[in-house]
Structure 1
Amino acid sequence: MPELRLIVGLGNPGKEYCWTRHNLGFLVLEKLAERFKVEFRNSSFTKGLIAKTEYDNCELVFLKPITFMNNSGSAVKPSINQLLIKASQMLVICDDFQLDYGQLRLRAKGSDGGHNGLASIIDVLQAKDFPRLRMGIGAPPSKEGVVEYVLDKFSKKEMEGLEDFVSRAADCCLSWAKDGLAIAMERYNRKVKEDEYDGENRS
């Protein structure tokens, strides 16, 4: 019997947020849905869009909360309850301004790291022990606040590497589901090359 895995991509609903840094989680799920030729539909059990597919010996459920970022937990908890899974069977994808642009960091558990979406999930579940994939967006320029930066659209330079970045994140999600956390971490938690996505040239 296929093992069930829930992959949650964090973001904000609405076309105006589509290409913003804060919506990387949505972009990864859309890439996965494209690969498996499945469509997102309104969920009957939570405030979100759901798509389902099978991969290797896994049944994958993709969830895009439509609660807006700060209330992501209110979409995640009903999903876990409905699917009858443990938090360890869920992977949450989010952006991280403390990582260089293009860097992936997969972890088994941890704090919210200042991310409101993760904070909401931790608060609602009352647990920190669920896997999360952080995607680096780089630090905001000194003249720009964090909130404005994450809600801003990708720069021209960032857009040039975005397709590869999102594809690697999608690969990481599938490796987590198929191979397990340890192997996926070893494979994808690498440092971005110095000449790759140069932060000083992301204009």
Structure 2
Amino acid sequence: MKLIVGLGNPGKEYEHTRHNAGFVWIDCLADELKVTLRPEARFNALCARVTMNSADLWLLEPQTYMNRSGQSVAALCRFYKIQPDEILVIHDELDLLPGAVKLKWGGGLGGHNGLKDIAAQLGTRDFWRLRIGIGHPGDRSDVVRFVLHPPGKEESRLINEAIDRSLQIWSLIAQGDFQTAMLKLHTK
């Protein structure tokens, strides 16, 4: 694993919204690793580099809006010659209940605009995803409002527990041991 991307929207008005679950995950990992994300203009993102086992691992929070996340991801990948199969994207997932978290390789994009743009910019859907459940509002017409607002107290607690649980297996992900990571994460 060479790049871990957290998806979200920049700005204080989006900071605590459901759509920013990926940013929260990256911030927690950066705290754990004692690194600071810094603005990087050439990638239009906040970045941090961590050296693990003599290899560089990048943490990335695109500072474009969600539907342009792929621009930052592709720019960093081109610059550091990172392949799509060396990327993990952490994002909010409407199709999972709050508290659920799933690790997945490739597949559909589930209507997620951040994933759509990353797939378009990379030219493939074949990258790893960590899907953090935020639930669904029930009506498709309410989705935009739903993801751009903060969750309630109980939902927030469940989402944070899912983030904490998934951070416990991040070292397996960093090592590329996805099978063990999925087994630990998906087994109750």
Aligned partner letter, 1:98:
D
In the superposition, the TM-score normalised over structure 2's length comes to 0.92
1:13 aligns to what? 10
SS at match of 1:8: strand
- Larger displacement relative to structure 2 (34-43 or 167-176): 167-176
CA distance, structure 2, for counterparts of residue 173 and residue 148 of structure 1: 31
- The correspondence of residues 26-105 of structure 1 with structure 2, limited to 5 A, is 26-56=23-53, 58-105=55-102
Q: 106, 116, 130: which is aligned to 2:103?
A: 106
SS at match of 2:103: strand
Deviations 1:63-119 (A, max 9, x none): 000011000011110111111121100100001111111111111111211100000
Q: Shift of the alpha carbon at 1:158? A: 1.8
Q: 133, 149, 156: which is aligned to 2:130?
A: 133
**Between Structure 1 and Structure 2, how many residues are aligned?**
188
Question: Whose Rg is larger?
Answer: 1
Q: CA RMSD for the aligned pairs?
A: 1.9
Cα distance change of structure 1 residues 58 and 172 upon mapping to structure 2, 3 Å threshold: farther
Q: Shift of the alpha carbon at 1:179? A: 4.9
Cα distance change of structure 1 residues 185 and 58 upon mapping to structure 2, 3 Å threshold: farther
CA distance, structure 2, for counterparts of residue 151 and residue 190 of structure 1: 30
CA distance, structure 1, for counterparts of residue 144 and residue 184 of structure 2: 31
- Larger displacement relative to structure 2 (86-95 or 167-176): 167-176
Q: 161, 176, 181: which is aligned to 2:178?
A: 181
CA distance, structure 1, for counterparts of residue 142 and residue 103 of structure 2: 26
1:195 aligns to what? none
8 Å Cα contact 2:98-2:132 kept in structure 1: yes
Q: Shift of the alpha carbon at 1:141? A: 4.2
- Larger displacement relative to structure 2 (24-33 or 39-48): 39-48
SS at match of 1:135: strand
CA distance, structure 2, for counterparts of residue 161 and residue 47 of structure 1: 31
1:147 aligns to what? 144
- Larger displacement relative to structure 2 (48-57 or 107-116): 48-57
8 Å Cα contact 1:103-1:190 kept in structure 2: no
Unaligned segments of structure 2, at least 5 residues: none
CA distance, structure 2, for counterparts of residue 35 and residue 180 of structure 1: 20
CA distance, structure 2, for counterparts of residue 170 and residue 82 of structure 1: 27
Q: Shift of the alpha carbon at 1:186? A: 1.4
Aligned partner letter, 1:122:
A
Aligned partner letter, 1:73:
G
CA distance, structure 2, for counterparts of residue 129 and residue 140 of structure 1: 28
- Larger displacement relative to structure 2 (179-188 or 93-102): 179-188
